[in-house]
A = this chain, B = another copy of it.
């Protein structure tokens, strides 16, 4: 899939078929995330892949989007490693670039995903469920699967609102 097409046609996908996401697809998604740019090339991103239904149900219990995580083939919890971070704003930007690479790769592979951010309000409990030390700061969870439908619509502000000035 062309890169511009991927950028413009990617949508949040919240309903999935039962078809599994393969380990090779998960590796490609993580690898794509890892090729994001980061300040000082510090690569703060860390990943936990949650495929087991039991563990997904534990994660799901920590968000109002329970149904999405339970229905996904795999959940990928994305963390930032506090021990390599150097500037919160820049590291969080890098994490956003990483997550966007992952979403675009997922779309390019014919899969679908949604970026779940609300669960970050329960980050301490997520770390407990995933048996991770506080050093790893939860950034988001991606629910990933084969799309049951692709009818999600979205819209963006017009360029006249986004382009403030030209010199």
Contact = CB atoms under 8 A, between A and B. Distances in A.
Interface of A: 1-8, 10, 12, 27-28, 30-32, 34-37, 39, 41, 43, 45-52, 55, 79, 88-90, 92-101, 103-105, 107-108, 115, 117, 120, 130-132, 136, 139-140, 154, 156-157, 159, 162-167
Contacts of A93: 92-93, 95-96, 99, 117, 139-140
Number of copies: 2
B159 A27 contact: yes
A167 B37 contact: no
Contacts of A35: 7-8, 10, 156
Contact of A107 (B1, B3, B28, B41): B3
Nearest to A89: B92
Contacts of A96: 36, 92-100
Contacts of A115: 37
Contacts of A41: 154
A111 to B, nearest CB: 12
A154 B105 CA distance: 20
Contacts of A49: 163, 165-167
